[in-house]
A and B are shown apart, each in its own frame.
Chain A
């Protein structure tokens, strides 16, 4: 599998600010995904990052709150906008491999909003 990395690995932010999380894969991949894992909870898909078009958001997530960019086939960013303490979570990016059936995940970004 390709190597997938995220920046930052963790951050502490003040409410009302925004944070952009970067996800880098060391080879070209067709699709990338962003997930949220709230404290003690499971993972929930936020959106699919499509190269060359707008991201596709899941129910309950909107572009104004979680804008996503996918400028090329190896990179994507997720911005968490106008943050509140409820946004404190681990944010993970992933990509599919093996006929798009198996997803591999980045190391995650731990976000704490005060």
Chain B
């Protein structure tokens, strides 16, 4: 069965610090997709990134970067030079092609607080 673990329940840092959010997943499928979503206090869920299981290239988008390592079943998310606007709950999620790629399993989320 598929499972996503975000061991960090809450993280609090001072603005401009770098912060890494951890995500570990379990799946028996060879084809799967990994996602990160951001949920600000307003409640909407904002899509950040999708990664396919066959593409292990790391990705950088501005201050955001993602490190996908199949060997350790991890898909970690780093925010560089954090800002107060980055404060939100971040969810890592997994879907398996065999189960219908649209079925998302979410981790428990990491609440990130950036203090000025």
Chain A positions within 8 Å of B, measured between CB atoms, are: 1, 31, 33, 41-45, 48, 90, 92, 94, 96, 98-108, 110
Contact = CB atoms under 8 A, between A and B. Distances in A.
A108 B103 contact: no
A105 B45 contact: yes
Contacts, number: 54
Interface residues of B, number: 21
Question: Is chain A's binding surface mostly helix, strand, loop or mixed?
Answer: strand
Contacts of A98: 50
Nearest to A104: B47
A107 B44 contact: yes
A33 to B, nearest CB: 7
Interface stretch (B55-63, B68-76, B80-88, B106-114): B106-114
B104 A42 contact: no
Given A102-B35, A103-B102, A42 B47 contact: no
Contacts of B50: 98, 101-102
A44 B109 CA distance: 12
